[in-house]
Amino acid sequence: MANKGSEKQLQRPLLDAFKRWLPRVGGCVVALLVIAFVGERMAVELIDPQTMQIKSVQVEGMFEQVDPQDVKRVAASFSEQGFLGVNVGQVKLAVETLPWVKHASVRRVWPDTLYISLEEQAVSARWGDSGLVSPSGELFFPEERAMFSHLPELAGPSSDGALVLSQYRQLDGMLAVHGLSIARLEQDERRAWVVILNSGVTLLLGRKESEKRLTRFIDIYPKVLKAWEQAIDEVDLRYPNGFAVRWHAVTGNENEIAKS
């Protein structure tokens, strides 16, 4: 009997404490529910495009080919999403589909502005009949490229701009010793390299050892070929121990192979 009395004495303070804290806990729960409800309603209200509209689009970058107004028009097409609701990732992708845009970044500027920073494509060479090549070898195809007619032309069956551009830089650097440069470099369907010099002379380098074969041309050019350059149509360097020269038809010369 004594034990039961002791248990009742221990339980009474706990029960009293529970009764005292229950209203407080209940009040906190109600307060949290009210805050959550109000917060949700505020969030819905803020995301509503009519509550916080996009009123301004600012564009920053070095503009030579890109028209900033085109960028603003693309961004404005997302204005119905509102300032907080707009998907900046979608705006970025849309801007990057514009011709000449290499990279764009988009962010919100409180309270009603989209800020867009972009980088234009740079050009190192032309590609085929309609493309251009960036310094990193990326190919892109703008509507107009006439202003780049002074740049070398590259081409290849695999559309591998990086490979052809790298080969161009290597071979063109080698030719510079004689003041020559490459007007066109092509990797044909058989993966063979064909070079057209700024003088109009065509060099056939084949698929393998293109640098070695060009070195042979560089060695013989001042000794044998320079004096005849205006009459030469093509130099075939695919021979293991020599080269073949094809002359312009007006010279009347036949093909000949010079042995080294």
pLDDT at 199 over 50: yes
What is residue 28's predicted lDDT score, i.e. its pLDDT? 55
| pTM for the structure as a whole | 0.72
SS (H, E, C) 76-111: HCCHHHCCCCCCHHHHHHHHHCCCCEEEEEEEEECC
* Structure confidence at residue 37 (pLDDT): 43
CA distances to 8, 10, 25, 35, 207 from 22, rounded to whole Å, are 21, 19, 5, 20, 87
Q: Is the peptide bond before 111 cis (omega within 30 degrees of 0)?
A: yes
Given this model, what pLDDT does residue 175 score? 97
Question: What's the pLDDT at 143?
Answer: 86
Contacts of 135 (CB under 8 A, 6+ apart): 122, 124
Rg of the chain, C-alpha, whole Å: 37
Over residues 85-122, the pLDDT tens digits come to 899 999 999 999 998 999 999 999 998 999 999 999 99
With cut-offs at 50, 70 and 90, classify the pLDDT of residue 203.
Answer: very high
Whether 175 contacts 188, CB under 8 Å = no
211 pLDDT exceeds 70?
yes
Q: What is the pLDDT of residues 5-61, one digit of tens each?
A: 555 554 556 555 545 555 655 555 544 544 444 444 444 544 555 568 899 999 999
What pLDDT, on a 0 to 100 scale, did the predictor assign at position 31? 46
